[in-house]
Structure 1
Amino acid sequence: MKRRTLLSAGLGAFCIAIPSIIAFILGMEESKSEENKSIKKLNLTQAQWKKKLTPAQYHILREEGTEKPFSSALNNEKRKGIYTCAGCDLPLFKSEMKYDSGTGWPSFYDTITQAVETKADFKLLIPRTEYHCARCGGHQGHVFNDGPKPTGKRYCNNGLALKFIPKT
């Protein structure tokens, strides 16, 4: 009896959540289609990516992996400059957009216009917003709605997915 009650409750909660999940997915697809119309795409084969990237970068950028928190030297980067995609060098963030979120990953409150594309991610069962480089499609991280003003966003990025180019 308890098992049936538990299953019924779980199914009921899932059914209640369906409209929210659908709205989330539709919202994600809308934002993706409005962005990045002027970025020329870079399409390489799996073999070309493996030759170009380190194994750890390949895992993150091409297989949507995640590096360990507090493992990136970019967490402590304070100089002025630009953060580019490690896969294709497309500028993604300005140093002025970076802040210390305390999460262990480089975090930014905004992106350079048209630099990223988003999609819904259900890998942890709860919906999240995943973002990728608009040029090469390399996985960067996830964006959350708990960041600072002016956007309220936190672009939580894998450090290995980025290159930092200091301003000279």
Structure 2
Amino acid sequence: MIANPGRLLRYHRSIASFTSIRRASLLTFKSRFHQSSSVMGANSKSEGEWRAILSPEQFRILRQKGTEAANTGNYNHHDTPGVYGCAGCGTPLYKSSTKFNSGCGWPAFFDAIPGAVSRHEDRSMFMTRTEITCTACGGHLGHVFKGEGFDTPSALLSILHYFDLGLTTSTVDERHCVNSVSLNFKEE
């Protein structure tokens, strides 16, 4: 016989409430953990759809935030004029005029096409970095590093160059370190 049925009922309700809170927290964690990017654009697809259209390596990098091995990408030493786009959705991301040789082992750009690349805080790998993703589909591109002092054309001078007003060099403080696998290229 139960000594205090009301107490037992309260106990079961509190356990049920605790369990539902834990379940909700777990579901929130799982959805955030498995989500390929913190922001999904209008071009988002299900995991199955992405797996069907991307190679396994593209899926690992674009959707699971992986990194290709240094000095292995097709676009690291690529100097042809054109536009680099997202390998996931095709959105133009970088003009070849903003690409430079940083010696880091991945394609480096000092500026993106306006609105094409989003930035997110990345606290993985026991440090805080700035992740860059395709704004349209949320595909992982790489990371931005600041204050390295590479001698490259600045964004303003790049605009002047676009209008054939001349181009000189100045120190820029950003390097978009991008996985080649995250990119496709369209020659001009």
- Normalised by the shorter chain, which TM-score bucket? 0.7 to 0.9
SS in 1 for 2:126: coil
Quote the residue 1:80 is aligned against: 81
Corresponding residue for 1:11? none
1:110 aligns with 2:111: yes
Q: Contact 1:85–1:162 (CA<8 Å) still a contact in 2?
A: yes
| TM-score, scaled relative to structure 2 | 0.66
Q: Residue type of the partner of 2:69?
A: K
Q: Which runs of 5+ in 2 are unaligned?
A: 1-40, 155-171
Report Cα offsets for 1:68-115 as digits up to 9, x if no partner. Answer: 000012111111000000000000000000000000000000000000
Bigger Rg, structure 1 or 2: 2
Task: Letter of the 1:157 partner, please give it.
Answer: V
Q: Percent identity?
A: 39
Residue in structure 1 matched with residue 5 of structure 2 by the alignment: none
Q: Cα offset for 1:152? A: 1.6
Letter in 2 for 1:141: G
Please name the residue that 1:98 is paired with. 99
The match for 2:9 is none
Map Cα deviations across residues 12-37 of structure 1 (whole Å, 9 max, x no partner).
xxxxxxxxxxxxxxxxxxxxxxxxxx
The one of 176, 181, 184 equivalent to 1:155 is 176
SS at match of 1:61: helix
* Post-superposition offset of 1:41: 1.6
Deviation at 1:141, TM superposition (A): 0.2
Give the paired residue count: 128
- Give the distance between the partners of 2:176 and 2:93, measured in 1 at CA: 11
> CA offset at residue 148 of structure 1?
4.0
Q: In the aligned structure 1, how far is the partner of 2:51 from the partner of 2:179? A: 18
- Aligned twin of 1:127: 128
Aligned to 1:165: 186
C-alpha distance in 2, partners of 1:69/1:42? 29
| Alignment partners' CA distance in 1, 2:114 and 2:52 | 29
Q: Normalising to structure 1: TM-score of the pair?
A: 0.74
Contact 1:109 1:148 in 2 (8 A): no
1:56, 1:148 → 2: CA distance? 32
Contact 1:143 1:155 in 2 (8 A): yes
Query: Partner amino acid for 1:159?
Result: S
Give the unaligned 5+ runs of structure 1.
Answer: 1-39
| Secondary structure in 2 matching 1:84 | strand
The answer (yes or no) to whether the contact 1:82–1:164 under 8 Å persists in 2 is: yes
